[in-house]
Amino acid sequence: MDAQTERIYVWLITIALTVLQSNVYLQLTSYVVSLEVLKPQNLEEKLVWYSIIGTYGINFLGALYVWIPVLAWLLAGRLGVKLWQQPEDSPPQERITIPLSIWVWVISMLFMELTVVMSHIDFDLGWTKIASSTIVWSRSWALMALFPIAGCLPSIRPRLVYRAICIVCAQSIVFALLAFLAFKASFYPAYLTPWWYLFRGDPQVYTVAIFGLPPGDGLDAEFRLNLFTPFANTLGIVGAVFFFLAIQESDKRWKWAGAIGAAIMVIFSFSRMTTLCLVIVPALTWLLTNFTWHMRLVGGLASFLLGLFGTLALDSARTFYEATFVNFRQGSEKVRSKLAEIALYKWETEAQTWGHGFVTERGPETTEGIPIGTHNQWPDLLYLRGTIGFFAFLVPLLWTFADLLIKAQKSQTAKVGLTIVVLLVVCTSGANVEAATYLYWPGLLILGMAFQAKE
């Protein structure tokens, strides 16, 4: 197949898949699969609803990285306007309040932007570079505060978010099958969208690899889904967030469709960490939200069994860890370890307070050219944002965990929020979670709703 013919096929498939994303198709699917059709009732819900169920359509246009941050600022601005115009005698169920936990995130993310400015000044990078890095901040770290703020809008219902997530996960089942068939046929349509020529930056976030990543050398030699995300590992994080949202759906048919679709996203991303999260995170959340007498009974029994079989259990856990995370993809683990080592050394010797502020274009030979500051959340935070940025992320995470741990004892929405936080904390052990905020943003929206839950 020559290049021109392949290009034609790519655009024909793109047009066909975009048509499948039309509102008519989605509404028809809703009627066929479920008797209950959940519709958005106001502007805020329409923005959220169509942004979620139209994920693939927006992705085919290469506009996810453009539209979702704009959506975050629009929703936050909408809340600001409503808060300003809110009458003093508005009923409690319609009254807008911003919990303290959200203010913690807002202040922390402003400190994160401060590290961007100060680090660029320290290294004399110029105001043009400061402006471009601030735009990156507005599309990543800022969303961790903006979407929880949007979650304070009483006009957005959690069940609408859950249903929309189930719809996009159900679509993922179809696209995952198409990806596998395309892989078997050795057909890898991918293209760089015009948005990159307008905004520049990392071309990967503007690249549409419709059916998955093509095989290459070494680590990329096997089939791995990436669907609407730039990387397979990112799809694992997004799929895990979507899974825990989908299982909150009340309609069993949508719930199963959503859970299966999300699980496929996680499993076939072949991300070891997020696959384990599907089991570990619910177990941790259950333990954290069941501080009753039966937990003491289980704890006592577990202590007794560990006393008898503790050595065997530790040996088994060590063997499992080495087989899953160390021996599997040894090259990846070595590179990741080297990246963390260099990042920590450069932070300690060159920029302890504000960090370096930017990612180098290409790393040294010891990291196979992979840039420093791209693969390890906490060492990368110290390297890029310094001690100030490190605590600007750690403090709101700990605060959120403590806040939702208390509220989750009585509130289901707070329990969902706690699950999301636990998941993100676990994911920081192997990925930079802020880079994917524009993809798992519905989870951050639910987080804002969880902050408002009554203890």
**In the predicted structure, residue 272 carries a pLDDT above the cut 70:** yes
State percent of the chain over pLDDT 90. 41
Using CA of residue 210, residue 178, residue 215, residue 169, what is the dihedral sign? Answer: positive
Model pTM? 0.84
**In the predicted structure, residue 128 carries a pLDDT above the cut 60:** yes
Question: What crossing angle do the helices spanning 232-246 and 158-184 adopt, rounded to 10°?
Answer: 140
- pLDDT at position 117: 93
Residue 211's nearest CA partner among 363, 70, 65, 59 is: 59
- pLDDT at position 3: 53
Out of 203-207, 366-370, 429-433, 434-438, the most confident range is 434-438
Alpha-carbon radius of gyration of the chain: 22
User: Per-residue pLDDT tens for 56-82?
Assistant: 999 988 899 999 999 999 999 999 998
**In the predicted structure, residue 14 carries a pLDDT above the cut 70:** no
Write down the residue that tokens 């519709």 correspond to: 39
Question: What crossing angle do the helices spanning 43-53 and 441-451 adopt, rounded to 10°?
Answer: 140
- pLDDT at position 393: 95
- pLDDT at position 291: 63
Confidence of residue 218 (pLDDT cuts 50, 70, 90): very low
Residue 393's nearest CA partner among 376, 410, 378 is: 378
**In the predicted structure, residue 310 carries a pLDDT above the cut 50:** no
Kindly give, in sequence order, each residue whose CB lies less than 8 Å from that of residue 296, ignoring residues fewer than 6 positions away: none
Write down the residue that tokens 């804002």 correspond to: 448
User: Per-residue pLDDT tens for 362-402?
Assistant: 767 666 677 887 778 888 899 999 999 999 999 999 999 99
Residue 396 and residue 195 in contact, taking contact as beta carbons nearer than 8 Å: no
Q: Which tokens is 253 given?
A: 């048919």
User: How many C-beta neighbours within 10 Å does residue 107 have?
Assistant: 14
User: Per-residue pLDDT tens for 88-109?
Assistant: 777 777 788 899 999 999 999 9
- pLDDT at position 300: 56
Confidence of residue 146 (pLDDT cuts 50, 70, 90): very high
**In the predicted structure, residue 31 carries a pLDDT above the cut 50:** no
Residue 454 and residue 411 in contact, taking contact as beta carbons nearer than 8 Å: yes
Residue 14 and residue 7 in contact, taking contact as beta carbons nearer than 8 Å: no
The mean pLDDT of the chain is 81
- pLDDT at position 399: 95
Residue 361 and residue 372 in contact, taking contact as beta carbons nearer than 8 Å: no
**In the predicted structure, residue 112 carries a pLDDT above the cut 90:** yes
- pLDDT at position 24: 43
- pLDDT at position 296: 55
Q: Which tokens is 304 given?
A: 């007794």
Q: Which tokens is 251 given?
A: 């309609």
- pLDDT at position 288: 85
DSSP code, position 229: S
Residue 150 and residue 45 in contact, taking contact as beta carbons nearer than 8 Å: no
Question: What crossing angle do the helices spanning 441-451 and 64-85 adopt, rounded to 10°?
Answer: 20
Q: Where are the alpha helices (DSSP H) in 86-157?
A: 100-122, 127-139, 143-150
| Dihedral over alpha carbons 151, 262, 394, 418 (to 10 degrees) | 60
Q: Which tokens is 310 given?
A: 């503790």
